[in-house]
Every structure is written in structure tokens, then in C-alpha cells.
């Protein structure tokens, strides 16, 4: 199998594009089954989930909206150092059905931060859809409603996922060669 080199690391083909799309289509059907009459708002967590979100949204054949949120870090003026803030939520989500769209849930720390941020927004029904999930790494307890593919703890790139900003453009997913 053809390996690729990204910066200083070597990766091998892992999940081909067609298998990713199969998982995406299955997730779209599950979402349709549950939310077809709810006009859900899909909140995509940038940057990694942009490609998954685009393919998923094309497979949804019911009324739905999409918007994008992102964590940004800035150096705090206090000694606490870096502060992370969620930006981009300009919709009124009170009383709505919201689906968080993530590329991968690993430890769950990032998603928990998003959930904390949204906790006072009076969302009626908040669900989580992640393309990839690393069950052996997961340390949290919140429910993940829609999962595309479960994977072991290997570091992967492609289909939106990056290594130091690189490789998000790959159609297939690759895993690191140990
Ligand atoms: P968590 O906070 O540990 O769940 O990690 C979630 C975030 O870490 C994801 O949104 C990704 O940006 C990044 N991440 C986790 N695992 C990988 C990986 O295997 N490749 C690339 N990025 C990853
Ligand atoms: Mg991400």
C-alpha cells in the first residue's frame, strides 16, 4: 500500500473515501429517522468537521439549517495563560433541536467544552454526531447520539483531520505508521 509523508511523519491508507461515505449515508438516515420534522440546526465544529459536514448535509433530505462554530485561543491578560473561547454562534438556539457535528471524539475533552458553552442556551434537544470515535481513549460520560466509525487509538489524518494544519484535503483517511 502506498504510504504518504506529511511533514516529518509517514502515514498509510486506512479508511477509503467510499467507506467514509457509506458511514455518512447511514448517519444521514438515522438523523432523518429521528429529526425529519424538527428543522434541526446543525452546528459544525471547525476546522476538522468541515468536510464531513458538507457530505452529511448533502445527504439530508428534510428541512435543516447549518452553521459553524469554532474555538479560538488567545493569550489572556491574566497569569492563567491561554484562554479558549467559542465563536460563531449567532443563531438563537433557544427552544431548538441542535446537532453538534464533529470530525472525531477522542478523549471527549473538546466536546465537553462545547457542551459547557451551550449549557445555558436553553436548547430543547441537543444531539452529537461524530464521524469518528476512539472508544478506548474516551474519558467522559456524555452520550454520543450518532457515530460513523469507531477506531482504535491511532493518530489519523485526512478528510478534514490534520497533522499540524496539513492533510485536511485528502479524500481518504490515513493512519500513522508506528
Ligand atoms: P478530544 O478533545 O481528545 O476528544 O479531541 C478532539 C479533537 O482532537 C478533535 O476535534 C481533533 O481536532 C483532534 N484529534 C483527536 N484525534 C485526532 C487524530 O487522530 N487526528 C487528528 N486530530 C485528532
Ligand atoms: Mg475537531
**What distance in angstroms lies between residue 99's CA and the mean position of ligand 1's atoms?**
19
Helix residue ranges, H only, the chain: 17-35, 50-58, 109-118
Please check whether residue 53 is in contact with residue 65, taking contact to mean a CB–CB distance below 8 angstroms. no
What's the mean pLDDT when you consider all of the chain? 95
Q: What is the number of the ligand 1 atom nearest to the C-alpha of 107?
A: 3
**Rounded CA separation 89/59 (Å):** 24
- Ion ligand 2: protein residues whose beta carbon lies under 5 Å: 48, 103
The predicted-structure confidence for 95-129, as pLDDT tens digits, reads as follows 999 999 999 999 999 999 999 999 999 999 999 99
Q: State the pLDDT confidence band at 84, using cuts at 50, 70 and 90.
A: confident
Q: Which of 160, 164, 178 is nearest to 15 (CA)?
A: 160
Report whether pLDDT(77) > 90: no
The ligand whose atoms approach the alpha carbon of 110 most closely is 1
Report pTM: 0.95
The predicted-structure confidence for 21-56, as pLDDT tens digits, reads as follows 999 999 999 999 999 999 999 999 999 999 999 999
Q: Cα torsion for 7, 13, 18, 23, to the nearest 10°? A: -90
Domain boundaries, the chain: 4-176
Q: Which of 106, 116, 139, 176 to mutate to test the pocket of ligand 1 (most atoms within 8 A of CB)?
A: 106
Per CATH, the number for 4-176 is 3.40.50.2020
Amino acid at each position: 500500500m502506498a504510504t504518504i509523508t506529511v511533514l516529518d511523519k509517514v502515514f498509510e491508507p486506512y479508511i477509503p473515501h467510499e467507506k467514509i461515505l457509506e458511514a455518512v449515508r447511514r448517519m444521514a438516515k438515522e438523523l432523518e429517522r429521528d429529526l425529519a420534522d424538527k428543522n434541526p440546526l446543525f452546528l459544525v465544529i471547525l476546522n476538522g468537521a468541515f468536510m464531513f459536514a458538507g457530505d452529511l448535509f448533502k445527504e439530508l433530505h428534510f428541512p435543516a439549517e447549518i452553521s459553524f462554530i469554532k474555538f479560538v485561543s488567545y493569550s489572556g491578560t491574566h497569569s492563567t495563560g491561554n484562554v479558549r473561547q467559542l465563536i460563531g454562534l449567532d443563531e438563537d438556539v433557544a427552544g431548538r433541536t441542535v446537532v453538534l457535528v464533529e470530525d472525531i471524539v477522542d478523549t471527549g475533552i473538546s466536546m465537553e467544552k462545547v457542551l459547557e458553552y451551550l449549557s445555558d442556551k436553553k436548547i430543547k434537544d441537543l444531539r452529537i454526531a461524530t464521524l469518528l470515535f476512539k472508544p478506548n481513549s474516551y474519558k467522559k460520560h456524555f452520550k454520543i447520539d450518532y457515530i460513523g466509525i469507531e477506531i482504535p487509538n491511532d493518530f489519523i489524518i485526512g478528510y478534514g483531520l490534520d497533522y499540524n494544519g496539513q492533510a485536511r484535503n485528502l479524500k481518504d483517511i490515513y493512519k500513522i505508521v508506528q
